[in-house]
A and B are shown apart, each in its own frame.
Chain A
Amino acid sequence: MGIGLSARAGWRAAYASVIGTAHLRTGAPCQDAGRCTVLRASDGCEALVAAASDGAGTAARSEIGAALAVEAFIAEFGAAARDDPTLARIDRAFVSSWIARFQDVIAARASAEGCTPSDFACTLLGAVVTATNAVYVQIGDGAIIVGTEEPDHYAWVAWPQHGEYANATNFVTEARAAAVAEFEKGPAIDEIALFTDGIERLVLDSAHRSVHAPAFRPIFAWLRATDPGCPAAPSEALTAYLGSAHVNARTDDDKTLVMATRRSAAPHGAQDGSGA
């Protein structure tokens, strides 16, 4: 990796979910969820656990599905990272068994509430980054992007799953979820963002299948200059940004952004300027 361990600061993180203007018009709730947390692993180093989920448009309880998916990911993947920060335990079988357990929880809840698991349909984007390793899980659309060795350049981990049509995707509540799940392992990275499909078309270049770096540079520059740590509440700045006219002019869908950096603005970020 480009930046050595010694240059790494602690994690700074921010997240927010904002309702889409189409949902405001119809009175539907925000069906997105997203959060991250930083915990202390058994090696004494920090581990970042982040997740985001987009509840399906016409599924009656998908906002509950999305919130449950985010919490279930953070709980189980966080525990695995804490016990073994090399993340050796987290393999495809671990992901499949997590999906099966999550589907059991959804099935029990559906039967208690007299509805079906598909009423809780939602996507899942999840990531764990320890001092040395990283894992990523994706079922459905939206994407996870990570910082590359080249400063201010970003690469996607998995391209949004849309199948052939723009209005189709996969959900973690479906029988085929484990089969279609993207699972990636890699070395630790220093910057990461997870986002739902509400902002997908604004920040991913579909013709070149690449990350549109200018869409992330000013936000990461701001994040690097914030106080270290992972707040327990959504970020006011990201909430204001995702709800701004700038964003709403380009999307009417719910949108979630979860981001974290352990690059600090100080050493070589003189040009970044937080502007605040």
Chain B
Amino acid sequence: MISADQIPFAPPEFVDNPEPRCPCLLLLDTSGSMQGRPIAELNDGLLTFHRELTSDPMATQRVEVAVMSFGPVTLVSDFRTPDQFTPPHLSAGGDTPMGEAIVEGLTLIENRKAAYKQGGVAYFRPWVFLITDGSPTDRWEEAARRVREGDSAERKAFSFFGVGVEGADMAKLSAICSPNRPPLKLKGLSFRELFSWLSSSLGGVARSQPGETVALPPPGWASV
């Protein structure tokens, strides 16, 4: 029997391909109503998110996080791997331009895909994660159309998850989200559980092989 340390040829040299990427965009409501404990818990959740992603070696190499806040729409952090990503400290104030944030966020995703393609970088289906405690104060119909078109069985351009914090307009959020992926309501202010779930779910996607359906852990942070 030939053992691994005595194969009869020199170990061949491998190509240094970039790791496939798993992009995740966080669209975070930072309007006035988030002031106080909600924004503090959200900031805390982002720290948890960063800590858990960087403790998973595969996620550290493959997940890319971008953060866009709305109230007003601001690109807080463009796509970066967890080791390069610094969790922002968000402050609340302003109205809720959710429609504009979604449209700009989806454009950011499209641009990222184009950059991957140009660089020969393989990638997984992007995730968009929207968290809000309110109701859009701008026109949201175009955003809803783009979400439903992109997060469909035909296009599969991205997966769009809507999460409503206490006080969120769940009816509008349902109108925005794809019917296949209805929005979930956050249990209290359990942002930390939410981001812990998001981190392990992204880790699962980042190590998935062709033909594998990624089983997401049950969202213990959602109220039924």
Known: A58-B211, A121-B211, A166-B122. A244 touches B15 (CB 8 A): no
Task: Answer yes or no: A63 CB below 8 A from chain B CBs.
Answer: no
Task: Answer yes or no: A3 CB below 8 A from chain B CBs.
Answer: no
Q: Which residues of A contact B123 (CB under 8 A)?
A: 165-166
Q: Which residues of B contact A221 (CB under 8 A)?
A: 9
Question: Which of A123, A162, A164 has the largest number of chain B CB atoms within 10 A?
Answer: A164
Q: Which residues of A contact B10 (CB under 8 A)?
A: 218, 275
Q: Which residues of B contact A56 (CB under 8 A)?
A: 210-212
Q: Which residues of A contact B119 (CB under 8 A)?
A: 207
The answer on a CB contact under 8 Å between B122 and A206 is yes
A71-79, A131-139, A208-216: which lies at the interface: A208-216
Closest beta carbon of chain A to B201's beta carbon, Å: 14
Within 8 A of A (CB), among B1-36: 1-15, 17-18, 20
CA A123 to CA B210, docked complex, whole Å: 10
Interface of A is mostly: loop
Q: Which residues of A contact B6 (CB under 8 A)?
A: 240
Q: Which residues of B contact A214 (CB under 8 A)?
A: 12-13
Known: A141-B210, A165-B123. A275 touches B8 (CB 8 A): yes
Task: Answer yes or no: A252 CB below 8 A from chain B CBs.
Answer: yes
CA A252 to CA B213, docked complex, whole Å: 17
Task: Answer yes or no: B208 CB below 8 A from chain A CBs.
Answer: yes
Task: Answer yes or no: A10 CB below 8 A from chain B CBs.
Answer: no
CA A54 to CA B3, docked complex, whole Å: 25
Interface residues on B, range: 35 or more
Q: Which residues of A contact B187 (CB under 8 A)?
A: none
Closest beta carbon of chain B to A237's beta carbon, Å: 5
Task: Answer yes or no: A202 CB below 8 A from chain B CBs.
Answer: yes
Q: Interface 1/0s, chain A 104-146, versus B by CB < 8 A?
A: 0000000000000000010100000000000000001100000
The answer on a CB contact under 8 Å between A209 and B7 is no
CA A209 to CA B179, docked complex, whole Å: 38
Within 8 A of B (CB), among A154-182: 162, 164-169, 171
Task: Answer yes or no: A205 CB below 8 A from chain B CBs.
Answer: yes
Known: A206-B121, A236-B1. A218 touches B12 (CB 8 A): yes
Report the interface size for chain A: residues with CB under 8 A from the other chain.
53
Q: Which residues of A contact B11 (CB under 8 A)?
A: 218, 241, 244, 246
Closest chain B residue, CB of each to CB of A140: B210
Closest beta carbon of chain B to A224's beta carbon, Å: 11
Task: Answer yes or no: A201 CB below 8 A from chain B CBs.
Answer: yes
Q: Which residues of A contact B17 (CB under 8 A)?
A: 201-202, 204-207
Q: Which residues of B contact A239 (CB under 8 A)?
A: 2
The answer on a CB contact under 8 Å between B209 and A167 is yes
Task: Answer yes or no: B124 CB below 8 A from chain A CBs.
Answer: yes
Closest beta carbon of chain B to A171's beta carbon, Å: 7
The answer on a CB contact under 8 Å between A167 and B124 is yes
Task: Answer yes or no: B112 CB below 8 A from chain A CBs.
Answer: no
Closest beta carbon of chain B to A125's beta carbon, Å: 14
CA A18 to CA B114, docked complex, whole Å: 35
Within 8 A of B (CB), among A219-248: 219, 221-222, 236-237, 239-241, 243-246
Closest beta carbon of chain A to B9's beta carbon, Å: 4
The answer on a CB contact under 8 Å between A244 and B122 is no
The answer on a CB contact under 8 Å between A166 and B2 is no
The answer on a CB contact under 8 Å between B120 and A208 is yes
The answer on a CB contact under 8 Å between B13 and A209 is no
Task: Answer yes or no: B207 CB below 8 A from chain A CBs.
Answer: yes
Q: Which residues of B contact A236 (CB under 8 A)?
A: 1-2
Closest beta carbon of chain B to A139's beta carbon, Å: 12
Known: A165-B123, A215-B12. A240 touches B210 (CB 8 A): no
Task: Answer yes or no: A190 CB below 8 A from chain B CBs.
Answer: no
Closest beta carbon of chain A to B199's beta carbon, Å: 18
Closest beta carbon of chain A to B18's beta carbon, Å: 7
The answer on a CB contact under 8 Å between A222 and B9 is yes
The answer on a CB contact under 8 Å between B209 and A240 is no
Closest beta carbon of chain B to A271's beta carbon, Å: 13
CA A141 to CA B214, docked complex, whole Å: 19
CA A62 to CA B9, docked complex, whole Å: 32
Q: Could you list 10 A-B pairs, sorted by A, with CB under 8 Å?
A: A57-B210, A140-B210, A164-B156, A167-B209, A202-B17, A214-B13, A217-B12, A219-B12, A241-B7, A250-B14
3 smallest CB-CB distances across A and B, nearest first, come from A56-B211, A57-B212, A207-B120
